[in-house]
Amino acid sequence: MIKIIKLSEQYFGLFLISGLALGLIYPANTSFLLPLLKPFLMVMLFLVFLKTDVPQVFQKMKNYRQAIFLALMYMVAIPVLFFLAVNLFNQELAVGILLLTAMPAGAASPALTDIVKGNTALSTSIVITTSVIAPFTVPLLIWALTIEDFSIDPWLIFMDLAMLIFLPMAASQFFKRYFPIMIGKSSHLFTSVNVILLSLMVYAVMGSQRETILNNPLKIFWQCGFLYIVFILLHVIGFLMGYKEDKEGKIATTIGAAYMNNGMAIVLAAIYFSPSILLLLVLSEIPWNTLLVPFRKIIRKRVCDATIL
């Protein structure tokens, strides 16, 4: 079992893709796993915060202008921009994209940034900042932008997000203070456990939408294509947001923009939104899980070209 856990970190992409495939082929336990999506997400955030010195991250965020700029871009400007653009031709699709892009940076962002050789400290600060303000910005955006057909209570979303984020954060700081030896001995397994939990979440939500996906291949095909365009644009926007940063900083801002916490979006969609919006967010797992490799190759090519010049 320990060997499988360690392999999950090394081959995280394979584990996530396997979750997608198994959900479509053999969705045997999805009814059991679906109620566990919220606890799984809280455990994942708890483990991320255990590996993060939250107070120290805040102390190191001395560049307040940068923090405010990035927070406003990630949590307000990008979601509003994509919502208004997509809403011109499809209202329900626009709501799904709003929910997706309004999420904080993914808990795996620092690990993904490290894989692409980016600035993990900046990536961690982005995760913390966007996570802290998400309970306020997400309900506000949904209340301000969505139309009456989507009568969602922003207060309920605020309470759910606050519980999902602040409870694991507070619990992690408590455990770090009173059980430091135990945490030190097991910290090398945290990322691997998160990969396994994320794979189970992907398996559960993909399995829950199996019939819809298999019965509407054309719709799924164009929605996946549309999501790839959205994620590619997010990579470009994220890279441009780091115009004042070096290469490592640009990688961090790109990861923060393009690799949002879509697991959190899936949980919220499963609770508050229609099955079609949930399906869109489930499909977002496909570009989320497959675009890191080409992004890493593009970054390496840029570095090689710059070296030659």
* Placement of tokens 């795996």 in the chain: 108
| Helix, coil or strand: residue 183 | helix
| Helix, coil or strand: residue 121 | helix
What local confidence, expressed as pLDDT, does residue 2 receive?
A: 54
Architecture category of domain 22-308 in CATH: Up-down Bundle (1.20)
Residue ranges, the chain, pLDDT below 70: 1-13, 53-63, 147-152, 302-309
Instruction: Please check whether residue 268 is in contact with residue 84, taking contact to mean a CB–CB distance below 8 angstroms.
Output: no
- Give the N- to C-terminal CA distance of the chain in Å, as an integer: 49
What local confidence, expressed as pLDDT, does residue 148 receive?
A: 53
Q: What residues contact residue 50 under an 8 Å CB cut-off, 6+ apart?
A: 172, 175, 176, 183, 187, 190
* Placement of tokens 């709003």 in the chain: 98
* Placement of tokens 């794979």 in the chain: 199
> Alpha helices of 61-189 — where are they, by DSSP H?
64-72, 78-87, 91-101, 109-115, 120-145, 154-178, 180-186
154-178 and 262-272 are packed helices; what angle lies between their axes, rounded to 10 degrees?
A: 140
What local confidence, expressed as pLDDT, does residue 235 receive?
A: 96
What local confidence, expressed as pLDDT, does residue 38 receive?
A: 84
What local confidence, expressed as pLDDT, does residue 259 receive?
A: 94
As given in the structure block, the two tokens for residue 274 are 């229609």
What local confidence, expressed as pLDDT, does residue 8 receive?
A: 60
What local confidence, expressed as pLDDT, does residue 20 receive?
A: 78
What local confidence, expressed as pLDDT, does residue 88 receive?
A: 93
What local confidence, expressed as pLDDT, does residue 154 receive?
A: 74
